[in-house]
Homo-oligomer: A and B are copies of this chain.
Amino acid sequence: MRIRGAPLIGVAAAYGLALTAHNAKAKEKKELIQQLSESARNLALTRPTAVNLFWAVERIMKKIEEVKHGSSAKISNAVVEEAKRIADEDFEVNRRIGMHGSPLIKNGDTVLTYCNAGGLATSGYGTALGVLRTAWTEGTKFKVIAAETRPLLQGARLTAYELQQEGIPVTIITDNAAGYIISKGMIDMIIVGADRILKDAVINKIGTYTLALLASTHNTPFYVAAPSSTFDIKRRVNDVEVEERAQTEVLRFQQLQIAPEGVNAYNPAFDITPMQYIKGIIWEKGISSPRDLQKRSDFL
């Protein structure tokens, strides 16, 4: 969890392989490829849910396959170059997501966002927060409600920080206040990121599904902003593992114990939002309804 945010996990995995390539540059070719394959396997084991990790590792491995007849130095350079390209493309893709999504936000809107899908979760611009950033830069005036996002408080710590830096008005709520606020009609739109977009559902930070259900119940549009590196739309919910994380994340607030000694916690890190609750997915090629995206699944 030193690195978080699906797109950034992908970029970090790519640079992990670039590091392996760089450090093993002088080695014999067979050994180099073996070390890269081993690194790829290890990286793939670090986090099970966000698909960008596997996407980035596969993309680098494909590049290695392409240049495998060249010298060790050529292979190493190709890996490093491909990692840079993944990082640069992520930034560009975020800019395009921002551009497509920003017209959804109107003057005077209050937008709810969740967890952190900002510059701190990507190469530097953000997906959900990229949309907000673009709209703000274009002169749209709106407010943001950031749900704190327990247990690790990415909303309170990271999203609030990014928006504050940008000068966008932001108010923090506890996650459990969203129901009241949405039911009172205080929210015009909800926008979140994604860790994996499947054929039948979106996987994102635990708590996302509840927000989507509330949005659907109270006719509040619910958007997901994510690059196509997050898409895995040939797979379904049942094919995917939802990561469970350490109890201490729930039982402790940094050094502060918040529950009696000896009590257990259950800490699933992600949840599953069925497609029916999602109004649109904002990605680098535009805004697609879940149905449209499913139709495009062949060429993604």
Contact = CB atoms under 8 A, between A and B. Distances in A.
A251 B172 CA distance: 8
A265 B173 contact: yes
Contact of A206 (B180, B250, B271): B180
A6 to B, nearest CB: 18
Given A210-B210, A213-B217, A177 B258 contact: no
Contacts of A266: 145, 171-173, 177, 181
A76 B268 CA distance: 56
A264 interface: yes
B173 A175 contact: no
A171, A178, A259, A262: most-surrounded residue (chain B CB, <10 A) = A259
A71 interface: no
Interface stretch (A123-131, A153-161, A222-230): A153-161
A179 B207 contact: yes
A175 B172 contact: no
Interface string A258-290: 111011111110111000000000000000000
A226 B138 CA distance: 52
Nearest to A270: B180
A80 B206 CA distance: 50
Interface in A165-194: 170-181, 183
B178 A151 contact: no
Contacts of A175: 150, 174-176
Contacts of A153: 258-259
A34 interface: no
Given A175-B176, A179-B271, A265-B172, A148 B260 contact: no
B171 A210 contact: no
A49 to B, nearest CB: 12
Nearest to A170: B263
Nearest to A209: B179
The 4 closest A-B pairs by CB, nearest first: A176-B207, A179-B210, A180-B271, A150-B174
